[in-house]
Amino acid sequence: MKAKHQTMRILFLLLPLLVGCAQVRVMHVVGSDFRSKWVQKELHYYTASHSSHPTNHFYVGAVEINHGGLVRALIYWKEERTLLDYTELSEDAPEGAESLAWHHRWKLDRDTVDMEQDIAGSNYLETHRQWVDWMEQCISRGRLYQVTMEDAKKLYPRCQTGGDSSP
């Protein structure tokens, strides 16, 4: 009887940890009502560095907001069918730190798989269903930014455009 209680106690202690691990991959767009010192400038940087399109549409969906300020966002880049993981830079970030805001990207089809088990622990793959859910959240709850290549190149003339959505 004592062993059974000990096992149950351990299970109750581990259950929150196990549930937390299962939730790590899931992010949710919480809205578009945020302040951001950097996001618009960062989108110009990303366009100048990675786009080959004359006009780019980015839907910025806040995943984490702290006291009204953007902390983290999922960004859907319509022209490239790509989701970008973005973290707001600190207020005192030095000039040239733009690339530090971008952490990962998932391109539809290239970085999506049909089944959860096909991910096999990879941080570089996501299910097609999850990708579509995030994209729809960005469009429906996010804020649209339109960035032209012309404007992006004015702000970042030294960036080489590769036409590749890799950060």
Q: pLDDT tens for residues 115-145?
A: 566 555 555 556 657 767 788 999 999 999 9
Q: What is the mean pLDDT of residues 103-121?
A: 57
* Dihedral in degrees, nearest 10, Cα atoms 33, 70, 96, 145: -20
Per the structure block, which two tokens stand in for 158?
């030294």
Give the model's pLDDT for residue 12. Answer: 44
Answer for the pair 69, 86: CB distance below 8 angstroms, yes or no. Answer: no
Total-model pTM: 0.73
Predicted confidence (pLDDT) at residue 65 exceeds the cutoff of 70: yes
Phi, psi of 6 (to 5 degrees): -65, -45
Confidence band, pLDDT 50/70/90 cuts, at residue 15 = very low
Q: What is the mean pLDDT of residues 57-74?
A: 93
